[in-house]
Structure 1
Amino acid sequence: MLDNIGRLRKPSKITEMITDRIRGMIEDGVLKPGDKLPTEKELCEGFGVGRSSVREALQSLEYMGLVESRPGVGRFLSLDATALISSQNWRLTLDQAPAFELMEARRILEVTTARLAAERATDEVIASLEKLLGEMKAVMDGDMDLYFEKELNFHLTLAGACQNAVLTELVHILIRRVNKDAERFLRTLPYTFELTVKQFEALVQALHDGDPISAGDSMHAHLDNVRDALSKGKTGTT
């Protein structure tokens, strides 16, 4: 196992480098869930670093939930370490992704969920969407905070209507990640409120009709507006 470690060359940020190297060994399958880790002494020799740096790195990995310490026995890779690594990498990808890429992914998924919703939405869900749409209409000329709250709930309710838990969760994550930026710029473009309402009316009608193509087209048109708002906000144009 230690043959796969390799000595660290850079003297700076040693603790972070040790942590990253061990995470890499987990991702590459060199270390597997439940494996006992080498001792601090063995890690020091393998990495060519001091014990304090190794100890700090191991404590960091314990804090992340990747490593478990068993007094008198040693340190072990947690059984869900691989899943935790994937989750942390996913969050990092979302945090670092530019708004355009997030919006592109959101559009692909929301158009898909809208189409599925046209095939699967229950009467109760459609009624909930109609209620939210009516509430949006009632406040769009006055209470912008409430308008955007209702619009967000419309998106989240529609995502659930597709009856696919994985798609619903992905849409929820992407919406919440990009929503605040989009909302900030849409507030400066009040003409989009009425346009959004019309697009949502067409979408709800498509759900009533069981028409997945029209439902997807309506959501696509709406998210084009959101994308344009983000683009204008980025360039500073109006």
Structure 2
Amino acid sequence: MDKLNLDQHISNKFNEELEEARQHLMQMGGMVEQQVKNSITAIIEADSALAQEIRAKDESVNDMEMDIDEECARILALRHPAASDLRFVLAVTKAVNDLERIGDEASKIAKQAIELTENGAAPKGYIEIRHIGNLVVSMLNKALDAFARSDAELALDVLQDDKVVNMEYASAMREMVTLMMEDPRMISRALNVMWALRSLERIGDHSQNICEYVIYLVKGKDIRHKKLSKVKKAVKK
């Protein structure tokens, strides 16, 4: 596992500022991960109260994103970081943006939970939501762990997991389309499930983005839009 030397500065204050940025990112990540878990529970258990709570907390996630962005801007302005320090600050600013987007997707799932509770549960789709939900929660958890530990190998694992999520998502969407064709009365509720599945797939994408920043942070290589085979070579070097 690769480690960054983010604690090797003459200024102890600079060390503290970098560590605080990392800790705040992890705090935001923990909040967002819980939001995702709760949104999955809300839709499966038809818990509209929990869904409302998720939507209310979305503003707190937005506030954390702005606070961390301001913190990173202050580091850039006052410390003029270079090399791995600069990559770290840039990776944090990008990661918090993806975490905020994940929070938005959790709020969207909560919205679908509320609508499904009001309109009646969908006859199918909840098994797929639970299954894909578990996969993307695992991806997000590993992405945050990879960032915390500067672990490019773990980040690579998440990129590979995303391929599985995409296949499961495509299969679930085909099943929902078949359901709507067989029973037009289910169209509205099936669409709610499809929107929830779409949000889960997007959460997987944002988790993948965070792992791309980890690899950039550790290896100094921008692997966005690269084939997985080339990313593997970059990580293994």
Q: Which has the greater radius of gyration?
A: 1
Q: Which has the higher helix share?
A: 2
